[in-house]
Homo-oligomer: A and B are copies of this chain.
Amino acid sequence: MERKMKECLDACLACISACNHCLDACLEEEHAAMMKACIRLDRDCADLCGMAIQMMTRNSPFVKEFMLLCAQACDLCAEECAKHDHDHCQACAEACRACSRACMAMAV
């Protein structure tokens, strides 16, 4: 497997992990109502990254378009998470940004 794909697979796995942890932790925050956008984007991002892993490793003809969509989801999720001071949000923003870069590298 080429290095670029290996890096993207690892970035997707880290992103799923960060998004799902962030979602779970957001539900426990005192002001859960403020975390709605974060929760929704965490879920979309985790699910799209999960499917991205499948699309890359099966060499799908749709992989480039899918990675582009996945990168967009990562960007939006990173943007939202970055607004919140919680450690889990900041960690998620970072994982999303790294994943977006790796997905973009696969999309070209």
Indicate which residue in B32, B51, B66 contacts A32 across the interface (CB closer than 8 Å). Answer: B32
Inside 8 A of A1's CB, which chain B residues have their CB?
17
Q: Find out whether the CB atom of A53 lies under 8 angstroms from the CB atom of B50.
A: yes
A43 within 8 A of B: yes
What are the 4 A-B residue pairs with the smallest beta carbon separation, nearest first? Answer: A20-B57, A20-B58, A32-B32, A17-B57
A73 within 8 A of B: yes
Inside 8 A of A32's CB, which chain B residues have their CB?
32-33, 36
A53–B10 Cα distance when bound, in Å, is 12
A24–B56 Cα distance when bound, in Å, is 12
Indicate which residue in B16, B36, B76 contacts A27 across the interface (CB closer than 8 Å). Answer: B36
